[in-house]
Amino acid sequence: MAPMDLDFRMHAERTPNPNSVKWVLSQPLLEGVSSAYFDVAPGADVSPLAARIFQVEGVAGVFFGANFVTVTKREEADWTDLAEGIVAALKASVSAGESALGPAYEPPEVGESGAVVERIQQILEEEIRPYVAMDGGEITFVGFREGIVEVVLQGACAGCPSSTATLKLGIESRLKEELPEVVEVVAL
C-alpha cells in the first residue's frame, strides 16, 4: 500500500441541491482544464477518480472543479450510506497518486466565436462561474443563437431546486444588462 499524503485534507460542504455534496480538497485536482463532468461511469482511462466514485452504489454524477469534487446522488440514495465510500474513493485515488482525468479524457467542444459570444463567455467565466463553483456547480457555455444563450448546468446546479432562479434572476439578468443582443438564457 502506498503511503498516504499527510498534507492531504478534505471536507464536505452542503450545496443548495440536497442531492449534491461538494468535497473540497487541500490540493489542486485538475491540470489543463477548468472542469469535467460525468453523468455515467467513465472508464479508468478517461477518469480514474470518477470511475472509483461511481463504484459507490447510489452515485448519479461526478463533477470536478479546480480543487473540489461535487458528487450527486440518486434521489432514493441516502448520504449516510454514500459518504464513507466516497471518502474512501477520494483517499485511495490520492494515495495512489492518480490524476483525476486519464489520457483518454477529451474536453467538450467550445462553441462559436464572435464579439458577442466572447463577451458572454467572459462574463460567464469571470462573474458567474466563481459564484456557481462556490456551491459545487459549473456552468458551461454551449451556444448563442437568435438572442438565446444556451448553457449546461452541472455538478450541484444540475437538478437543484434553485437553479431556475439562478438561471433567470442571476445569469440571464446579468447578460441582458451587459448585452442587449441577449433575449433569454436557457439550460440544456
CB atoms inside a 10 Å sphere around CB 145: 10
- Three-state SS for 51-108 is HHHHCCCCEEEEEECCCEEEEEECCCCCHHHHHHHHHHHHHHHHHCCCCCCCCCCCCC
Over 50: is that where the pLDDT of 3 sits? no
Put simply, whether the predicted model's pTM sits higher than 0.75 gets the answer no
What pLDDT, on a 0 to 100 scale, did the predictor assign at position 66?
82
Domains and CATH numbers, the chain: 10-95 (3.30.1370.70), 115-187 (3.30.300.130)
The pLDDT-based confidence of 5 (bands split at 50, 70, 90) is: very low
Q: Is 124 exposed, middle or buried (0-12, 13-18, 19+ CB in 10 A)?
A: buried
Q: Considering Cα of 25, then 28, then 30, then 34, what sign does the dihedral take?
A: positive
What pLDDT, on a 0 to 100 scale, did the predictor assign at position 31?
81
Which tops the pLDDT comparison, 145 or 60? 60
Dump pLDDT digits (tens) for 86-138.
999 999 998 888 889 999 998 766 555 688 888 999 999 999 988 888 888 88
